[in-house]
Structure 1
């Protein structure tokens, strides 16, 4: 009888560090603020809470050592998007208390059925997902090893930056074009307001 030697990955339990504690607290903040964004009824409050959500995500990206993603999240999510929402509110909302969202009592049954259907459909895919930390998941495949090893050869210390700049340059260029278009739209809207 032959025996098969298989290397089984082991989980190392580490004592929580300050970085882990801050990450957990910030992640909790982001989840709470995301729920608040969906639940709050005042449009202006929803925009401000959404800006806080985007800033929380940006700080999380910094903690995960992805400063370029954090910068984009802060600029687009908290900056440009918030400015566009506030501009839209200032141009469309009546001053006499018309700033609230749809009353929850007027929710259409069709919307509830569609939301529940999508939720159930997504939950049905969970059993098909690999276990968390499994060694045979695509995240641990040879492509990931190549990206991590080749990032140092390209002169980039951060693997996320290497993937975004070196390997997904065309996609990153498209994202830059979107950020530029959003900035031009905000400037055009603000310029039109100054002319009026």
Structure 2
């Protein structure tokens, strides 16, 4: 792990903790936006610019804009603490155990870009060979429509729900 990746991961974890512990909704919103931007930069470092753009646009952009729009229509309590450090020991134990279990699986993962990884074991050749059978010229389109149709449908449903939520939030302020 490079120092840049380690620093970005530390930043993302720190901002996630701030988001979870913040008692002021505006502080939590700003921390969440920083979290999304940190993840976007991490995806750029991992050479996944498409995922980085999506994370930056949706996570840091649209979601933060929706939160700020909702906050602008509410009142903020004056005074009080911005953070709460009271966490149940049971929650700490469960989260620690889950984190340890996930970290224990990392050594069994294939190296990034390993051509012998199970995901690369003939999958690309199969997709390219079967694409023509469906009458679709573009292999990416064939994968999205034919082989990952339910996943693509789910993504479309999420985008549709987000658009409806934006329209509902905007419509309530105008009425």
- Shorter-chain TM-score bucket reads 0.5 to 0.7
RMSD: 3.8
Structure 2: which 5+ runs fail to align? none
Shift of 1:91: 5.1
Choose from 90, 98, 105 the match for 1:118: 98
Tell me if the contact between 2:16 and 2:35 (Cα under 8 Å) persists in the aligned partners.
no
Matched, 1:84 2:66: yes
Tell me if the contact between 1:76 and 1:179 (Cα under 8 Å) persists in the aligned partners.
no
> Counterpart in 2 of 1:54?
36
Separation in structure 2 between the aligned mates of residue 85 and residue 64 of structure 1, nearest angstrom: 29
For this pair of structures, how many residues does the alignment match? 165
Choose from 153, 159, 172 the match for 1:179: 159
> Counterpart in 2 of 1:38?
16
> Counterpart in 1 of 2:47?
64
Query: TM-score, with normalisation over the residues of structure 1?
Result: 0.61
Tell me if the contact between 2:70 and 2:169 (Cα under 8 Å) persists in the aligned partners.
no
Separation in structure 2 between the aligned mates of residue 31 and residue 182 of structure 1, nearest angstrom: 28
Q: Which has the higher helix share?
A: 2
> Counterpart in 2 of 1:142?
122
Query: TM-score, with normalisation over the residues of structure 2?
Result: 0.67
Tell me if the contact between 1:58 and 1:71 (Cα under 8 Å) persists in the aligned partners.
yes
Structure 1: which 5+ runs fail to align? 1-20
Shift of 1:175: 0.6
Tell me if the contact between 2:29 and 2:68 (Cα under 8 Å) persists in the aligned partners.
yes
